Chains A and B, each alone.
Chain A
């Protein structure tokens, strides 16, 4: 079990640039979650997918953020254009269920710095 794989591990970009974060969930998991973590706001749920379909994107900050899951083994979170306030650690997680009866398995995150 390779766990949830996120790339890149670190990303430094300039304000206005497009940023794409990638996630490979654990094989066989049918739910995928994107979280953002900052010191001020803690862990925030941005969006989650079930069977590749976005179920709830109410946590996405604004239209600059978009997420896709073209197949069961890959998801992307895109920020366009990026802003300094987007600097955070972005985590992807997967699970076998939709609710809290199924443990979430997190990746090690992507640390994004927007200058």
Chain B
């Protein structure tokens, strides 16, 4: 699996847009980029997944440059309830299922 690097922590204020960038320099051709969110005392929750360019859903947007060596999760107008740990994972359908979670990015949203 491609190794990922993301900031350990980030702070933001309510109403701001938050961008969390993940580096994955050795991403393979058939790898997808997937982001999960985890609140305290809960399991991780799927946020968004993409392969290239831009993907948007009701929760977030995912920006992937042409070389796919990084990706940026964008959370529009965060609220206090967006305080959580965000994980970036990279891998493809050809993997044998070894979904490895790194340390993630702890996002703290302040009032």
CB within 8 Å of B: which residues of A? 4, 31, 33, 35, 42-43, 45, 48, 50, 55-56, 91, 93, 97-109
Contact = CB atoms under 8 A, between A and B. Distances in A.
B97 A31 contact: yes
A7 to B, nearest CB: 14
Given A33-B97, A55-B96, A103 B91 contact: no
Contacts of B43: 4, 91, 93, 106-109
3 A-B pairs closest in CB distance: A106-B43, A100-B91, A103-B46
B26 to A, nearest CB: 15
Range for the number of chain B residues in contact with chain A: 20 to 34
Interface of B: 1, 31-32, 34, 36, 41-46, 49, 87, 89-104
Contacts of A100: 1, 31-32, 34, 89-93, 95, 99
Given A93-B43, A106-B44, A45 B34 contact: no
A96 to B, nearest CB: 11
Nearest to A3: B43
